[in-house]
Amino acid sequence: MAAQHCAGSAPGIDTGAVYSKDKRPVDTSCFFGTRKYQRDDMKKFIETLVEEHGGRASELLQILIKVQARWHHVPRDCIEQLAEQLHIPRTRVISVVEFYTFLHAQPRGEYEILISDSITDRMLGKPQLMDFLAAKLQVQVGAVRQDGLVSLDNTSCTGMCDQGPAGLINGRAVTALDTRKVVAIAELIASKVPVEEWSGDFFLVHDNIRKAGLLLGDTIGNGVALHSAFARGLDETLRELDISGLRGRGGAGFKTALKWRFAKQEQDSERFVVCNADEGEPGTFKDRVLLNSHAHELFEGMTLCAAIIGAKQGFLYLRGEYQYLYEPLQQVLQQRRQSGLLGGNIAGQDVTFDIEIHVGAGAYICGEESALIESLEGKCGIPRNRPPYPVSQGYLGKPTVVNNVETFVAAAKVAVHGGDWFAARGTEQSKGSKILSISGDCRHPGIYEYNFGVSVAGILDDCGADDVFGVQIGGPSGTFIGNAEFDRKLAFEDLATGGSFIVFDNSRNVLDIVQNFTDFFAHESCGFCTPCRVGTALLKKQFDKIQQGHGSAGDLLELERLGRLIKTTSHCGLGQTAANPILTTLQRYPELYQRQLKKISFEPGFDLDGSLETARKLSRRNDPAAHLTQGGE
């Protein structure tokens, strides 16, 4: 999701007002009430929110999300009041509002509609559907309708790639959109029917589990993993986790037992457990299914980790696109408290631990663990310098274990069945199984679980993929492989993946795919480091020039040079992988890029003569001397 740069508001712009295209204020009283009522209502609302969140500045993001939901933006008066009550600079509040895509300084529509622009949604007809939706709602894409009732915009992948085109309406996930649903949505909005009263058919989200294995094949009873661990002994359970060979399932693959042991050995007695449920990588939706159908096992794994390392507090960082899961997850947590599996004296042992859910607000970068921790502390999600690593200095500077949903679920299973049970599957360096999110050109998109070592060809057979041109493994930040490589194996030692597996058949244009991915990274850069902030924008411009048929052989060389520069000099994983779509496809299909080139060595990257048009109008000149000629040779 787009992360905007941390910066103040534009000078002279009232962040509590709506402006028309010519910068004139628009009367918003018709849909936001009078200013006095807004201030009075807001003051009481903010005071209550701050009190509910303990007056902690670390809760800033959670408070702002609720403000956004209430007024469809974060008004200027709210910024001033929050700064005062949380004892933080107003610039910090402003920077957080501007950083996260789902927060706005200017009003959005009463019905805020965001449609996923992920490549899989585009493959399912999203561009045409978006045009139809804009026409039915009489609103331009990226704008708020004049009456303030509705706004429409694009967003990055919403984690519904197996049932797109998909989007969000006031934060609620909508799936399998078609013209029939669009017409119905337009009618409901025209009638001003509250979203809460719409038919549940609009918001159906299916698990689509197609193939189950070690983790999805069966469920363990509530508390079984904890009772098994306590009966065996926590130190022995940590050894079993080591024997299992379990590695982090987010993509990096760090050994889970080693991470937990590092945190356990830290001198600081206050420690934290954090679950990264911010799966923002386009094409990834496995954690969505685990959160929906295996939440008890997830929380069991987090509690197991807490017992081993000595943590008393945990956090589930839930991506903003999965906000529809917030209440069901809270219900699971409450059930566990009532069953003695959270809180004090867990499972009859001298263990105290509880879990809070924090919701993200649209920032792909927060999938990086240190950026997630910054966000958890109510700040902009900008990755930290490392070392120190989170296991020694994480949340609030305390030792913190960060693992993703699948890793905690796997740890709970290991606690029950033992390390050998898990290690018996997979390969030498990649033990156990991996859950894949499969989407794109296949008959059976959905969730598939395989033991590590499975071939790409075997996966394609299972999901019903024919005439396959290539597969994007690991999402845009991963690797694109062609049909000559389908004997390769899914494993850390060959094709590592966080879970995304997007299939493309021969009807697809690989350069269109790369363009979508390159736009995504330029949009999602947090802006912290120059190589990524500037480099992804330059990479996008350079690629677009070639894609549009204006590039030369020199431009192609520059594209590759720029990609490698960004890869080796960026601060975090986003920048380090942003050029992968270009570099991996350029390596495999150089002829496709070369076909787009013009037969010249240089072509201007912009229209110099066109840039002088304003000057010509002001000087009332249009003679030959007032024009410039550009050309290449």
* CATH label of the domain that carries residue 529: 1.20.1440.230
**Contact present, 55 and 352 (Cβ < 8 Å):** no
Structural domain includes residue 4 = no
- Cα-based distances in Å from 68 to 51, 61, 101, 150, 191: 18, 10, 11, 15, 23
Domain final residue, candidates 206, 232, 255: 206
137-165 pLDDT tens trace = 999 999 999 999 999 999 999 999 999 99
Domain limits for position 464? 433-508
Which DSSP string corresponds to 549-570? T---HHHHHHHHHHHHHHHHH-
Q: pLDDT category, 28, cuts 50, 70, 90?
A: very low
pLDDT at 21: 33
7 within domain boundaries: no
Same domain, 484 and 551: no
- Is residue 324 assigned to a domain? yes
pLDDT at position 14 is 36
- Please, are residues 202 and 181 in contact by the beta-carbon 8 Å criterion? yes
Residue 2, pLDDT score: 43
φ, ψ for residue 285, nearest 5 deg? -150, 15
pLDDT of residue 63: 98
The answer to whether residues 556 and 535 belong to one domain is yes
Grade residue 600 by pLDDT with cuts at 50, 70 and 90.
low
Of 63, 103, 54, which is closest to residue 82 (Cα–Cα)?
63
pLDDT of residue 40: 76
- Half-sphere CA count of 54, side-chain side, radius 13 A: 4
- Do 342 and 452 lie in a common domain? no
pTM confidence score: 0.89
**Residue 599 domain-assigned?**
no
Bridge partner list, 247: 255
Q: Is the pLDDT of residue 460 over 60?
A: yes
**Does residue 447 surpass a pLDDT of 70?**
yes
Which of 481, 508, 535 is the endpoint of a domain?
508
- The mean-pLDDT minimum among 114-118, 459-463, 600-604 falls in 600-604
Q: Residues 315, 389: one domain?
A: yes
pLDDT digits (tens, 9 = 90+) for 245-279: 999 998 789 999 999 999 999 999 999 999 999 99
Q: Which residues pair with 112 in a beta bridge?
A: 151
CA 277, distance to chain mean position in Å, is 9
Number of domains in the chain: 6
Kindly report, residue by residue over 354-384, the tens digit of the pLDDT: 999 999 999 999 999 999 999 999 999 999 9
**Shared domain check, 31 and 128:** no
Mean pLDDT to the nearest integer, 22-40: 43
Do 367 and 415 lie in one domain? The reply is: yes
Question: What is the rounded CA–CA span in Å between residue 445 and residue 161?
Answer: 8
Q: Are residues 34 and 177 in the same domain?
A: no
Residue 526 resides in a domain: yes
Give the angle 165-166-169 at the CA atoms, nearest 5°.
Answer: 145
Residue 334 sits in the same domain as residue 250: yes
The reply to whether 237 falls in a domain is yes
Q: Give how far Cα 574 sits from Cα of 99, 262, 401, 535, 536, Å.
A: 16, 26, 21, 12, 10
- The 10s digit of each residue's pLDDT in 117-144 is 999 999 999 999 999 999 999 999 999 9
pLDDT tens digits, 550-595: 999 999 999 999 999 999 999 999 999 999 999 999 999 999 999 9
Task: Check pLDDT > 80 for residue 603.
Answer: no
Nearest-5° Cα angle at 371, 215 to 287 = 20
